[in-house]
Structure 1
Amino acid sequence: MDNKRAFESEKRVRFQHCDPAGIIFYPQYFVLFHELIEDWFNRGLEVNYADLIAVQRLGVPTVRLECDFIVPSTIGDTLQLRLAVRRVGTTSVALSLMAFSGDELRVRMEQVIVLFSLERRAPVSISEDLRRRIGKFFASE
């Protein structure tokens, strides 16, 4: 994944993320990656995520998820989380998400989110403006 085109955020592995062995309890990665998506909207796309939900009444639920847990992360580790866009459809966005500690890949996830009307409970088309913003984060092959 081309780091220049990826959105990045850093997270510290905290006690709350870990199981009794001090290793991240795997569902916590889904929480961390969702936080990355929120950060991407807020800082990367410059779209206020809270307003998207509360004012525009739009969400971005996951419709597909594939995940590989490669190396355990432990309490105190600092993770570099990366997000890159693989494809943009009419209503959906395919993302590649990764967690690294230094150069070591810890987790890799392929996720598809869909722009979704919270009022109608149905997918909605991605606007041209949002599509343009998303396009800045395409992964290079």
Structure 2
Amino acid sequence: MPAYTFFTDARLGDCGTGGLMHLPRYYEMIHGVIENWFEEALDWPMGQMQGSDHLGLVTVDLTTEFPAPSRLGDRLAWKLSVRDIGRSSMRLRISADTGGDARVRATLTLVLVETRAVRSRRWPDAIRARAEDFMLAPPPDAAGSAD
């Protein structure tokens, strides 16, 4: 399935005086990609999720790699894919490239929670179905191969 794609530019406020992107900005941008994906692709804006639905997302696991720095003016092409969907969790793979060169790779697990009780909540069926459209193809089953 295709990945969700979103573009951002490395702006002056994202970079230090040497023109290199501050690492903490990547985490804010990752959150922005997730927020845009929920609104644009899953049709569930954060304002509705946290407002009238009284639900929210908690990041319970996050790993990141930074293969190369981004510089002021770089156009970052972000891609988001779903690796797995559980009852209340979702594992995502998010990456950003500039001109085909990797800048950041992140794998994270989100858990849907009730904001009033802060306990996990099952994904709504419609959201699960839309998220499955961005599911990565499963890797070939090495155990089942005939070598």
For the pair 1:100 / 2:97, whether they are aligned, the reply is yes
Residue in structure 2 matched with residue 125 of structure 1 by the alignment: 122
Give TM-score scaled by structure 2 length. Answer: 0.90
Q: Which runs of 5+ in 2 are unaligned?
A: 140-147
Code of the residue aligned with 2:29 in structure 1: it is L
Residue in structure 1 matched with residue 145 of structure 2 by the alignment: none
For the pair 1:111 / 2:119, whether they are aligned, the reply is no
SS in 2 for 1:60: strand
Instruction: Determine the C-alpha separation between the residues in 2 that align with 1:57 and 1:15.
Output: 36
SS in 2 for 1:61: strand
Code of the residue aligned with 2:23 in structure 1: it is Y
SS in 1 for 2:129: helix
For the pair 1:70 / 2:67, whether they are aligned, the reply is yes
Code of the residue aligned with 2:131 in structure 1: it is I
For the pair 1:9 / 2:6, whether they are aligned, the reply is yes
CA-atom RMSD, angstroms? 1.0
Q: Residue 19 of structure 1: CA displacement? A: 2.0
Which residue of the other structure, out of 43, 47, 52, is the alignment partner of 2:44?
A: 47
- Aligned residue-pair number: 138
For the pair 1:86 / 2:67, whether they are aligned, the reply is no
Instruction: Determine the C-alpha separation between the residues in 2 that align with 1:48 and 1:32.
Output: 17
Instruction: Determine the C-alpha separation between the residues in 2 that align with 1:76 and 1:123.
Output: 40
Give TM-score scaled by structure 1 length. Answer: 0.94
SS in 2 for 1:8: strand
Q: Which runs of 5+ in 1 are unaligned?
A: none
Instruction: Tell me which stretches of 4 or more aligned residues in structure 1 moved more than 4 Å.
Output: none
Q: Residue 85 of structure 1: CA displacement? A: 0.1
